[in-house]
Amino acid sequence: QVQLVESGGNSVQPGGSLRLSCAASGSTSSIETMAWYRQAPGKQRELVAAITRVGRTNYADSVKGRFTISRDNAKKTVYLQMNSLKPEDTAVYYCKADAQYAHSWNVYWGQGTQVTVSS
């Protein structure tokens, strides 16, 4: 079992920065990929960024060049550094872990953290 605890959501003005953190615990060795998703009211949840066990990353086109996903294996934590924030970045941000145990895939979600970008 994997548990995900998020932190870092806040309100910020356009052009500002935030760093989200997602700390994993439990069977962390089974995690293959971790990712950040976001969901605005009335919209579908969308992938923001992902990072694999070997460090490969993937970003949504809308955040390329502004957001950076990274990991700290010692702390069992994944981060999302968000720079040059725009009002359209406003959403609930969710951490997700894809894990494999006994040849079965499991998906775990964090509780979500609110990011609000407004002037």
What does each C-alpha distance from 17 to 10, 56, 72, 99 come to in angstroms?
A: 10, 23, 20, 30
Q: What is the C-alpha to C-alpha distance for residues 116 and 18, in angstroms, rounded to an integer?
A: 10
Per-residue pLDDT band for 102 (boundaries 50, 70, 90) equals: confident
Q: What is the DSSP-derived secondary structure letter of residue 101?
A: E
- pLDDT score at 83: 98
- pLDDT score at 92: 98
- pLDDT score at 94: 98
CB neighbour burial string for 15-27, b if at least 16 within 10 angstroms, e if fewer: eeebebbbbbeee
- pLDDT score at 2: 93
What does each C-alpha distance from 96 to 36, 87, 117, 119 come to in angstroms?
A: 6, 23, 22, 29
- The stretch 5-29 carries a mean pLDDT of 96
Q: What is the pLDDT of residues 79-101, one digit of tens each?
A: 999 999 999 999 999 999 999 98
Per-residue pLDDT band for 25 (boundaries 50, 70, 90) equals: very high
- pLDDT score at 38: 98
Q: What is the pLDDT of residues 40-60, one digit of tens each?
A: 999 999 999 999 999 999 999
- pLDDT score at 73: 81
